[in-house]
Amino acid sequence: MTPDDRDRTVRDLVLVGHGMVGQRFLEAWTEQPAAAAWRVTVLAEEPRPAYDRVHLSALFSGSTADDLGLCPAGFPAEHGIDLRLGDPATAIDRERQLVRTRSGSEVRYDVLVLATGSVPFVPPVPGTDAAGCHVYRTIEDVDAIRADTVAARTGIVVGGGLLGLEAAGALRAGGLDTHVVEFAPRLMAVQVDDGGGAALRRKIEELGVTVHTGAGASGVLTGPDGTVRGLALSDGRELPADLVVFSAGVRARDQLARECGLPVGPRGGVVVDAHCRTEDPAILAIGECAQAVDGRVYGLVAPGYQMAETAARTLAERAGEGFTGADTSTKLKLLGVDVASFGDPHGTAEGALDVLYSDSRSGVYRKLVIGADGALLGGVLVGDTEGYGTLRPLAVGGKPLTVAPEQLVLPAGFASAGAVALPDDAVLCSCHNVTQGAVRAAVRDQGCDSVAAVKKCTRAGTGCGSCLKQLGTVVTEELEAAGVSTVKGLCEHFAHTRAELYEIVRVTGVAGFSELLARHGSGGEGCEICKPTVASILASLGNGHILDGEQGALQDSNDHFLANLQRNGSYSVVPRVPGGEITPEGLIAIGEIARDHGLYTKITGGQRIDMFGATVDQLPVIWNKLVDAGFESGHAYGKSLRTVKSCVGETWCRYGVQDSTALAIELELRYRGLRSPHKLKAAVSGCARECAEAQSKDFGIIATSAGWNLYVGGNGGMTPRHADLLAADLDRETLIRTIDRYLMFYIRTADRLERTSVWLERLDGGLDHLRAVVVDDSLGIAAELDDLMERHIGGYRDEWAETLADPERLRRFSSFVNAPGTPDPAVTFVPERGQIRPARPGEAGRTLDSPVLVAGTRLEVLTP
């Protein structure tokens, strides 16, 4: 059938490109009543439907291509869409209104929508076509990069913007010595200012990535075999490398438009009006291939989504408000560093003033740009983006602040950003241009009683997700204003909070999940939230072995096998080493076990020895040897006490004033196995020099000449927090009693997965209230807290020793129920640096079958 033979009673819509913006256009178009009279054909270049290109780096950390998919499996068929993968458009015949494809097909259109996106910019320098040179744009690009990282040691990313730093994170995750080369004088030059760029650079270099700014690529250096061996820079330097990734920006993919005579902008991009129409009334353009009416080509997904929705309304003859520009605010995490910019981050408006806070020690930089009239115009946040959800809408709307900007940038007052009132016309969700007023109306007028319902109704929160926290706050406020009691329960199965469930179990003596659900829940079978939470509560109160009966069925992937699940499906084995003190015999035993089972070994920051690469079948065998050698579970897999780190104290150190090692060992043995809402880390320093880093722990102790200072609520993790001094110069007995009560009060009142740092900041009355409870017994519960701790200490049993003694518990430790002892073929390894590591996707790894190490350097027995 030729294009002219088709049924002319149905109009033809052709979409060229099926990326993120193309898929959003299809979703917006199928919501229009007019869509029923149209036949839709999609011409896609890639071999798979639309996927989340923004999160490509997730493929380096275990995510799959399916995880990134944006097009539901049944979506094309449900809406009668002819999705043609791997058959891109090659030419447009505007006179005959048809599109030719690579396969030779001709597809007629009544309306054509161009969503061809962009292409990576590769500098026009010699050698960019050498083996080992890549761009970072598609899943296929990622597959190619991963394949080359297997043999590579050093990688260079050309480009220090958003995409470049994403690519650098991917190379670093692949184990490469990573360099970033950026022509501008700072990283992320478009989004952040000099101060923010400096803070970002410091944080990234602390992670081991080398940054070169103010220099570009002048050529790729190659070896005799034509492969990459380095990169020549514009300042004359040469950097050795095995891999080069070009991620120096993108260019609008407007070739189809150029070749058919459509006007394009001076810097690329198909020229469109406010309703995304090109010069040809039958052709629209959206996303990165289009130049908007403000003369810009937007390289972010949020403006692309807005253009897609505008085009859908235009096609449905419901033009309404057009697309005249977009909010380019950005909030993301690059190599683990939080970065955000919003509004006018560079203060280009006349009379604009900056309010700055910079702490290079902690890597936090905050800047707010204030207009001459006191309105918030923009800002830059590096290292701490907590206030972004509130500040961005104010800046985009040019709204005046209701508090002094100095209060918002200082550490003590930054949390008050949440108290700043947003007007209803403030855009809450920039991805879908949803105002706070629209969210409130959805709750007030359309019966939306949850964030999920509001997301479905307004699409707010369904884009990048940076507005979700603020969205939840607004929904809750509106429901409470209407007199609706908001459910603050654990999940759909329990209207109670975790703290309330803890009290119910403690007081009533409920011994199992089913009983608790039947008596205090709302029915059903439970979920991935309530099951492990209740299991933790039961374990905290000493209700039997964690693998027994119903308890065992409640566990998550780690507690289920009493080991930490690793990225390739193997497990780690971590015996307890109290205080980091270990005998030579203990070291020899661990070394022999690791050698005999071919395990990867690493000394951790918590003063323990981790052994990686064990399969489920091997775990009991390994632990049997460890238990015989005097070791017990280190609980690396549980939400419980991990370690009590220590320095050597006065025993060995000439500066030490107390025996920190002895105290650390005593505390670790006292609190071992203590199940809690989140993991617990502790440390004891023998003097004020703080070698054990006690002030970054959930509880930390520092020796003084008069006793011990106790610090609580610290966190050295994703959101570092300096611990607070709870009590000073305590004697040993008082110190231990105070820690006992502090831990039990935390376990009793904290929310699910809430670290002590977050709990302490949320606690009504904060540190003063905590001190009143655990030191002064202001609530009259000190005796209860003491008793709970004594019950834990008296009831402690090593989980692995008890598991090994019970044949029924051991039945679960098999990769295959019908073939115990058979290695899991999905768990594969490759040799590296004399040990093993997980095989990367696409890498030819091998399973371990009774592996041994010869001379401690080479894996000898491997199963193909």
Per DSSP, 19 falls in state S
DSSP 206-253: HTT-EEEES--EEEEEE-TTSBEEEEEETTS-EEE-SEEEE-S-EEE-
Nearest to 75, CA basis, from 30, 107, 117: 30
* pLDDT at site 97: 95
What confidence tier does 8 reach under pLDDT thresholds 50, 70, 90? Answer: low
Coil, helix or strand for 688? Answer: coil
Contact 600, 572 (CB under 8 A): no
Does the structure show a pLDDT above 60 at 470? yes
Q: What are the helix (H) ranges across 489-554?
A: 498-508, 513-520, 530-540, 549-554
Q: How many CA atoms lie within 13 A of 255 on its CB side?
A: 8
Over the stretch 94-145, which tens digit does the pLDDT of each residue have?
999 999 999 999 999 999 999 999 999 899 999 999 999 999 999 999 989 9
Per DSSP, 569 falls in state S
* pLDDT at site 274: 92
* pLDDT at site 479: 79
Nearest to 543, CA basis, from 441, 675, 451, 426: 675
Nearest to 698, CA basis, from 729, 655, 667: 667
- Output 800 or 462, whichever has higher pLDDT: 800
**Cα–Cα distance measured from residue 521 to residue 707, given in angstroms and rounded to the nearest whole number:** 48
Q: How many CB atoms lie within 10 A of CB 20?
A: 23
* pLDDT at site 319: 65
Does the structure show a pLDDT above 70 at 66? yes
Phi, psi of 152 (to 5 degrees): -90, 155
- As a whole number, the mean pLDDT across the chain is 85
Average the pLDDT over 309-331 and give the result. 82
* pLDDT at site 851: 38
Average the pLDDT over 51-70 and give the result. 81
What confidence tier does 861 reach under pLDDT thresholds 50, 70, 90? Answer: very low
Q: For the chain, what percent of residues have pLDDT higher than 90?
A: 44
Q: Using the structure block, give the residue that is written with the tokens 């923009």.
A: 378
* pLDDT at site 272: 95
Nearest to 499, CA basis, from 508, 490, 486, 491: 490
Sign of CA dihedral 702, 708, 714, 715: positive
Does the structure show a pLDDT above 60 at 853? no
Does the structure show a pLDDT above 90 at 684? yes
**Cα–Cα distance measured from residue 40 to residue 30, given in angstroms and rounded to the nearest whole number:** 10
pTM: predicted TM-score of the whole model, two decimal places: 0.56
- Pick from 170-184, 391-405, 434-448, 581-595 the range whose average pLDDT is largest: 581-595
* pLDDT at site 285: 96
Q: How many CB atoms lie within 10 A of CB 235?
A: 10
* pLDDT at site 386: 72
* pLDDT at site 335: 73
Over the stretch 254-278, which tens digit does the pLDDT of each residue have?
999 999 999 999 989 999 999 999 9
Over the stretch 88-99, which tens digit does the pLDDT of each residue have?
999 999 999 999
Over the stretch 584-636, which tens digit does the pLDDT of each residue have?
999 999 999 999 998 999 998 889 999 998 888 889 999 999 999 999 999 88
Sign of CA dihedral 538, 542, 546, 549: negative
Radius of gyration of the chain (CA): 30
* pLDDT at site 549: 59
* pLDDT at site 232: 95
What value, to the nearest 5°, has the Cα angle with vertex 188 and ends 184 and 189?
45
Q: Using the structure block, give the residue that is written with the tokens 């958003």.
A: 162
Nearest to 576, CA basis, from 805, 800, 803: 800
Average the pLDDT over 838-860 and give the result. 50
What confidence tier does 221 reach under pLDDT thresholds 50, 70, 90? Answer: very high
**Cα–Cα distance measured from residue 137 to residue 144, given in angstroms and rounded to the nearest whole number:** 11
Average the pLDDT over 290-306 and give the result. 88
| 411 CA to centre of own chain | 24
Does the structure show a pLDDT above 50 at 859? no
Query: Tokens standing for 54?
Result: 């923004």
Coil, helix or strand for 588? Answer: helix
- Pick from 313-322, 512-521, 692-701, 799-808 the range whose average pLDDT is largest: 692-701
**Cα–Cα distance measured from residue 803 to residue 679, given in angstroms and rounded to the nearest whole number:** 22
Average the pLDDT over 799-823 and give the result. 73
Q: What burial letters (b/e) apply to 371-383, b meaning 16+ CB within 10 Å?
A: beeebbbbbbbbb
Average the pLDDT over 642-656 and give the result. 92
Q: Using the structure block, give the residue that is written with the tokens 């105070």.
A: 738
Contacts of 267 (CB under 8 A, 6+ apart): 291, 297
Query: Tokens standing for 506?
Result: 């403690």
Average the pLDDT over 221-246 and give the result. 93
- Output 853 or 302, whichever has higher pLDDT: 302
* pLDDT at site 450: 75
Helix H or strand E encompassing 749:
helix 732-749
Q: Is 354 left (phi over 0), alpha (psi -120 to 50) or beta?
A: beta
Show the beta-strand stretches assigned E in 289-359. 290-291, 330-334, 337-343, 353-359
**Cα–Cα distance measured from residue 384 to residue 365, given in angstroms and rounded to the nearest whole number:** 8
Give the dihedral of Cα atoms 824, 828, 831, 837; nearest 10 deg.
-100
* pLDDT at site 864: 30
**Cα–Cα distance measured from residue 276 to residue 755, given in angstroms and rounded to the nearest whole number:** 48
Average the pLDDT over 144-164 and give the result. 89
**Cα–Cα distance measured from residue 291 to residue 273, given in angstroms and rounded to the nearest whole number:** 9
**Cα–Cα distance measured from residue 406 to residue 15, given in angstroms and rounded to the nearest whole number:** 49
Give the Å distances, CA to CA, from 323 to 312, 314, 853.
Answer: 12, 11, 64
Does the structure show a pLDDT above 50 at 417? no
Average the pLDDT over 478-489 and give the result. 71
What confidence tier does 487 reach under pLDDT thresholds 50, 70, 90? Answer: low
Nearest to 54, CA basis, from 328, 297, 300: 300
Q: Decide the pairing of beta strands 111-114 and 243-246.
A: unpaired
Over the stretch 728-772, which tens digit does the pLDDT of each residue have?
999 999 999 999 999 999 999 998 889 999 899 888 888 999 999
* pLDDT at site 159: 92
Contacts of 452 (CB under 8 A, 6+ apart): none
**Cα–Cα distance measured from residue 52 to residue 142, given in angstroms and rounded to the nearest whole number:** 13
Q: How many CB atoms lie within 10 A of CB 132?
A: 23
Contact 154, 208 (CB under 8 A): no
Query: Tokens standing for 50?
Result: 């639309």
Does the structure show a pLDDT above 80 at 463? no
* pLDDT at site 3: 45
Contact 51, 139 (CB under 8 A): yes
**Cα–Cα distance measured from residue 834 to residue 825, given in angstroms and rounded to the nearest whole number:** 22
- Output 862 or 593, whichever has higher pLDDT: 593
Does the structure show a pLDDT above 70 at 704? yes
